[in-house]
């Protein structure tokens, strides 16, 4: 067990924007909620999955709804208590700890606020190891855990608990209620036992986020390494390309931010071309016509000077970026994992081949 204070929150937020793999949104408002809660209630206890008893109840916390609304209304602060109460009552057993459902973007921050306000520990674990766009895309689905019973509340105190027959129903019903409640709500879902969390969760992901954030901040402080090498070493990333954005082609399709970005090589990639496609998160990186990485591996674009992650909303002509591939959590590479998040599910017409094998085939 260790403490998560204000400094750690800063690093985790920065790391989370990298693990967002282009998506997950700007964690800024989430970070303010975490800071607000810690300043009021004190630092949060981060516990390792091994410290959790097998029969303990663990509850992932997330927000649902429109980011624009979240940026006006924030949260009230009492939502976590409401969710805790209805879940504990429903299960007839108290929730032992909270955890993030996804490590990328704004949802990486809310469980910190929840833990601080509830006085509960947060488990160093999540269900993605990155960000994904759909509700069922969590490792817990592989383990047969249902999204429901799912508790939902708004800041006014309205609350509901859902029991649904499929995750699609969960999504549909919850969206309708979210709109009626004012467009942004807090949810507790995929509630599970300590044993299930240990079997299927992505362990030590909060610590990894924090380490990544700290590494990005200090890439220039390592005398024996170039900043780029320092970044690659700390992130265990594969350098896929370095280039300048020469075009961003976007399509709008409902809730998703779809498109692809065209890159022209700079530095030792001069004369080469690359293309990265995205649907909220980055899906595939193609260098000189050859696929070098696909989802579920993480494809991250970072600024070549500051190494801060560039989200798909912020892509624009002229930006110089380093394209980096990070290995996804092993469970996503199993047949059951790929059923949920294989490249074809996202419209990328190829089999999944692990990043490190694709890279080996090329001349990097």
Partner 1 sequence: MYKLGIDVGGTNTDAVIINQQREVVAEVKHPTTNDVYEGILCAIREVLEISGVDRKEIRQTMLGTTQCTNAIVERKHLAKVGLIRIGAPATTGIPPMVDWPEDIQAVVEDYVVIRGGFEFDGKELSPLDTEAARAFLERMKGKVQSIAIASVFSTIRNDHELAIAQLCREVMGEDIHISISSEIGSMGLIERENATILNAALYRVAQQLTEGFAKSLVEEGISNAEVYLSQNDGTLMTMEHARRYPILTIACGPTNSIRGASYLSQVKDAIVIDVGGTTTDLGVIQNEFPRESSIAATIGGVRTNFRMPDIISIGLGGGSIVRQGPDGQVTVGPDSVGYRITSEALVFGGKTVTATDIAVRLGMAELGNPSLAAGIDEDFARRAMDVIRNMVEECIDSLKLSNEDVDVILVGGGSIVLPKDLAGTAHVYNPEHFGCANAIGSAISKVSGNYEQLIDYNQIPRDQALEQAKEQAVKLAVDAGAIPETVEIIEVEDVPLAYCVGNTCRVRVKAAGDLT
Cβ 185 to partner 1 shortest distance, Å: 11
Which residues, in sequence order, are CB contacts of 111 under 8 Å at separation 6+?
Answer: 60, 61, 98, 99, 100, 122
CA angle 240, 306, 258 (to 5 degrees): 55
Q: Which is nearer to partner 1, 127 or 259 (by Cβ)?
A: 259
Cis peptide before 149 (omega within 30 of 0): yes
Residue positions counted in the chain = 364
Cβ 318 to partner 1 shortest distance, Å: 4
Q: Which is nearer to partner 1, 59 or 114 (by Cβ)?
A: 114
Q: How far apart are CA 202 and CA 361, in angstroms?
A: 28
Residues that bind partner 1 (CB under 8 A): 29, 31-33, 35-37, 39-40, 66, 68-69, 71-79, 113, 155-157, 179, 182-183, 244, 246-247, 316-320
Cβ 182 to partner 1 shortest distance, Å: 4
Q: Which is nearer to partner 1, 128 or 185 (by Cβ)?
A: 185
Beta strands in the chain (DSSP E): 2-4, 44-47, 57-65, 95-100, 122-123, 125-126, 150-153, 159-162, 184-188, 192-193, 202-203, 238-253, 256-265, 273-279, 281-287, 290-294, 298-303, 320-326
Cβ 350 to partner 1 shortest distance, Å: 29
Q: Is 329 exposed, middle or buried (0-12, 13-18, 19+ CB in 10 A)?
A: buried
Q: How far apart are CA 185 and CA 162, in angstroms?
A: 14
Cβ 158 to partner 1 shortest distance, Å: 11
Cβ 316 to partner 1 shortest distance, Å: 8
Q: Which is nearer to partner 1, 248 or 348 (by Cβ)?
A: 248
Q: Which is nearer to partner 1, 139 or 153 (by Cβ)?
A: 153
Q: Which is nearer to partner 1, 195 or 262 (by Cβ)?
A: 262
> Which phi and psi (to 5°) does residue 11 adopt?
-70, -40
């Amino acid at each position: 067990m260790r403490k998560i204070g204000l400094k750690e929150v800063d690093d985790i937020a920065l790391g989370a924007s990298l693990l967002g793999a282009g998506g997950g949104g700007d964690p800024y408002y989430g970070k303010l909620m975490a800071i607000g809660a810690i300043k009021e209630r004190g630092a949060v206890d981060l516990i390792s999955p091994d410290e959790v008893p097998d029969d303990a109840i663990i509850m992932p916390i997330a927000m649902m709804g429109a980011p624009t609304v979240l940026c006006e209304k924030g949260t009230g602060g009492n939502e976590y208590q409401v969710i805790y109460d209805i879940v504990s009552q429903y299960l007839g057993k108290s929730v032992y700890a909270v955890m993030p459902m996804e490590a990328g973007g704004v949802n990486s921050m809310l469980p910190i606020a929840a833990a601080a306000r509830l006085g509960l520990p947060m488990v160093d674990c999540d269900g993605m190891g990155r960000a994904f766009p759909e509700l069922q895309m969590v490792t817990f689905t592989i383990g047969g855990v249902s999204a429901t019973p799912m508790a939902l509340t708004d800041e006014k105190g309205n609350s509901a608990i859902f029991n649904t027959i499929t995750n699609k129903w969960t999504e549909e019903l919850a969206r309708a209620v979210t709109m009626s409640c004012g467009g942004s709500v807090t949810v507790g879902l995929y509630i599970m036992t300590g044993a299930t969390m240990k079997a299927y969760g992505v362990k030590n992901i909060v610590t990894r986020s924090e380490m990544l954030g700290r590494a990005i901040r200090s890439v220039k402080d390592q005398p024996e390494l170039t900043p780029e090498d320092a970044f690659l070493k700390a992130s265990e990333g594969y350098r896929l390309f370095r280039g300048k954005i020469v075009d961003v082609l976007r399509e709008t399709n409902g809730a998703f931010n779809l498109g692809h970005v065209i890159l022209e090589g700079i530095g030792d990639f001069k004369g080469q071309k690359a293309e990265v496609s995205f649907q909220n998160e980055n899906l595939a990186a193609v260098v000189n016509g050859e696929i070098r990485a696909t989802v579920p591996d993480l494809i991250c674009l970072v600024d070549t000077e500051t190494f801060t992650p560039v989200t798909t909303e912020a892509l624009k002509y002229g930006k110089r970026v380093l394209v980096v591939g990070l290995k996804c959590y092993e469970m996503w590479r199993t047949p059951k994992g790929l059923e949920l998040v294989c490249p074809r599910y996202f419209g990328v017409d190829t089999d999944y081949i692990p990043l490190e094998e694709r890279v080996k085939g090329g001349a990097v």
